[in-house]
Structure 1
């Protein structure tokens, strides 16, 4: 797309020069430029529609066949895509590695996403997934730093897909880190009742194991 806009800019400069030479016919040059831009935008809209269809068709594979998803999405990344699209695809690949239980590679993928590539809600989702990965890698202090910084943004996200589960997971983890084990236990029970099945990118069994370890240690200390 950057190449397209650069070409359009160069064409505009050329046409403006031609318009100056043509004088009274400069209006024709202007409308010619508008027409060419319209054709270019129509071509991009058609390309983007086809590309989006490919991306959406692959999404179910994240959970059912993460290896296949990774392979096919890596192919899409080989093209000349805008930075925000590349960032979203890379984040989805990271989620696929989460599904495989490979949190180290998931983190490596997240780190390749350049700052500023994701805006607004997508930026918050990026840090929400990043936090989830850090928690599973035992990087609790770093995870808590992100939670404190982005907590309000997490809670303001549109509650669709697996976001409610992911936010609940992070909130329960935060309660555990703050030593609020009774509240964490209650919230974990509610989450299990609301979402009994494991869904893409969210596995409450990890928190249940943490809770069991805490309970066992408390019994020993008594």
Structure 2
């Protein structure tokens, strides 16, 4: 399966479950508790993958959640009946001020044009809308040791993301580190036979894993 992105490999689904990310819904639930979103809030999951978070936000939290993803393969494997759309995160097919919250979980690091993507997040958010980002990030400037074709190959530069959020009139209300969840997933991948997972080797920089919440 050379060249196949990690998020489309069965080994990741076996290790991480349907969310395909460290910690499953741990950071999703944490974000919901921090943002205080109202019942039936309109929520968008950018990079929804198999639709797990969209389904969870609808059934567990009662939100009017929908999702979009660029991968036709992943969308084809999502449960039938979910409101999912194929689209590019940098060109969201939604009207201005459509959502009270945007979730972007382990996806922003994979999008080449992060500036345009963040501008799109702001456009589709209502006033005081919440942006929830969970992703891998660089701890320093060293070489990243990771699995190719995964979000670990291009972890976020937090300073750059903070700059872009400020540029588009958003301010950060919370940043929390959950790198232990990344280490746990990396261990599962190693046990399952995957080489060079995101935790890396001791000679190279290991990316961290964080939750960030910003408000418009």
Q: TM-score, normalised by structure 1?
A: 0.27
Quick check: which one's strand share is greater? 2
Structure whose CA Rg is larger: 1
Q: Which fold has the larger relative contact order, with Cα–Cα distance below 8 Å and residues 6 or more apart in sequence?
A: 2
Structure showing the higher helix proportion among its residues: 1
TM-score, normalising length: structure 2: 0.27
